[in-house]
Amino acid sequence: MRRSAVDAQHTRDTIIAKAAAIASVDGLEGVTIGRLAADLAMSKSGVLGHFGTKEGLQLAAIDRVIADFRAKVVEPALTRDRGLPRLTALCDHWFDYLADTGLPGGCLLTAAAVEFDTRTGEVHDTVAELWNDWRRLLRAELKHTGLDVDQCLFELMALGPAVNQAIQLHGDRKAPERAKRAARTVLLVKA
Amino acid sequence: MRRSAVDAQHTRDTIIAKAAAIASVDGLEGVTIGRLAADLAMSKSGVLGHFGTKEGLQLAAIDRVIADFRAKVVEPALTRDRGLPRLTALCDHWFDYLADTGLPGGCLLTAAAVEFDTRTGEVHDTVAELWNDWRRLLRAELKHTGLDVDQCLFELMALGPAVNQAIQLHGDRKAPERAKRAARTVLLVKA
DNA sequence: CCTACCGATCGGTAGG
DNA sequence: CCTACCGATCGGTAGG
């Protein structure tokens, strides 16, 4: 009875997954309706009908990846005690995520931060909000440590993009381990 | 007599400057011949004639910015003694450059590293080579310090992208100072 | 450096 | 979800 609605949802999921994969390699602007339709053996209007506009599709792809990031990085760390234990867990999960995002081009959220940092629009706003949320999360935990909050925040925030670049551009597979060690130095925690 | 050749060189310089400015905001793929022609009140073929292809134009823009980076960041530091003095100079100039690149969208080289990290072609190769050169430069100096070369290299490399993101995405104008302080911590140098 | 043009592709819409 | 189509723009070329 509701088979067609289920099918539509499945099609939508498939489109989003493919869009995120393309965006991780070629950027969110590199996601085109025509290419997506061809890759999925659909018509362009069949693709676009699920999202209305290209921007709607970009936002859907970002939202999907943000949900995945929250599930893999943020949620598991919230079981840890506030302050240093939670901070080290957040960082460790972050660096592990960057090494294994499930997308062919690495971390879409890290790439989107650079791609949209000086643009305007909803995509920029969503990306900026995501990273502001992440900063606020780390900042709130840093306040429990007695450390220099702003300086430590800057130094921890640096490690994610560094892991991404070390892996994607330099092929350094040890990057997550180096970042974990660096985070412990910042937080004055013994490895 | 040679006025036309001088004019042509001037036109070429103007095109490259505009292309770099656009690329800093919208990415190197966002540089289109038609937009450049409209902005400069030229014909498309007038623009393209100087570079042959869009890729040629992208490479010319990158080469220009690389030369500027070398002149502002690398060259001034080479007068300092090898090891820690040169490393701190390289880092300081790097962070100051990131805060004032002369381009409206921030650092094109940092953005291009992310935009092209998982693509193929000459643009990718040029960008990868630039960052490999920078890594080799820092690594060579780190070998004079007695510090853990690979770990320190990772931690220093992290600070550039961090400054860029802090400024462009979060509007944190104190980022260069924070990065200078972080670099001194990494290098065990007193501030 | 220009005009004039090429085929391909862009995001999106009409109508079913 | 489809076909068929829109105007705009893409990178690039011919010929001058």
| Span A77-130, pLDDT tens digits | 999 999 999 999 999 999 999 999 999 999 999 999 999 999 999 999 999 999
Gap between the Cα atoms of A175 and A57, Å rounded:
32
Please work out, in degrees rounded to the nearest 5, the angle formed at the alpha carbon of residue A127 by the alpha carbons of A10 and B61: 110
Residue B148, min C-alpha distance to chain A (Å): 11
- Rounded distance, CA A47 to CA A16, Å? 10
Per-residue model confidence as pLDDT tens digits over A122-165? 999 999 999 999 999 999 999 999 999 999 999 999 999 999 99
A41: which 2 tokens? 């053996």
**What digits encode the pLDDT tens for the residues B94-150?**
999 999 999 999 999 999 999 999 999 999 999 999 999 999 999 999 999 999 999
Q: Which nucleotide is nearest to B33 (CA to C1')?
A: D11
Cβ–Cβ < 8 Å for A137, B161? no
Tokens 């943000």: give the residue.
A66
Mutate to test the interface with A, among B151, B157, B174 (most CBs of A within 10 A): B157
The contacts of residue B77 (CB under 8 Å, 6+ apart) are B86, B89, B90, B93
Using 50, 70 and 90 to split pLDDT, how confident is the model at A1?
very low
pLDDT of residue A7: 84
In chain B, which residues have their Cβ closer than 8 Å to the Cβ of A118?
A: 24-25, 104-106, 168
Q: What's A43's DSSP letter?
A: -
Q: Nearest to residue A46, comparing CAs of A55, A60, A34?
A: A34
Question: Which of B36-40's residues contact partners 24+ apart within 8 Å by CB, and which partners?
Answer: B40/B14, B40/B15
Kindly determine whether residue A157 and residue B168, on different chains, have CB atoms separated by under 8 Å. Answer: no
Q: Tell me how far apart the terminal alpha carbons of chain A are, to the nearest angstrom.
A: 57
Q: Number of Cβ pairs closer than 8 Å across A and B?
A: 121
Residues of chain B below pLDDT 50:
1-2
* Contacts of range B32-40, beta carbons closer than 8 Å, 24 or more positions apart: B33/B57, B40/B14, B40/B15
Q: Do A117 and B168 touch (CB under 8 A)?
A: yes
- Count of alpha carbons within 13 angstroms of residue B116, beta-carbon side: 27
Mean pLDDT of A72-76: 98
Contact A118 B166 (CB under 8 A): no
State the amino acid at position B43 in one-letter form: S
Would the CA dihedral through A141, A147, A150, A153 be positive or negative?
negative
Interface contact A131-B168, CB threshold 8 A: no
Helical residues (DSSP H) of chain B, grouped into ranges: 3-26, 33-40, 44-48, 54-69, 75-77, 84-99, 108-115, 122-142, 149-168, 175-186
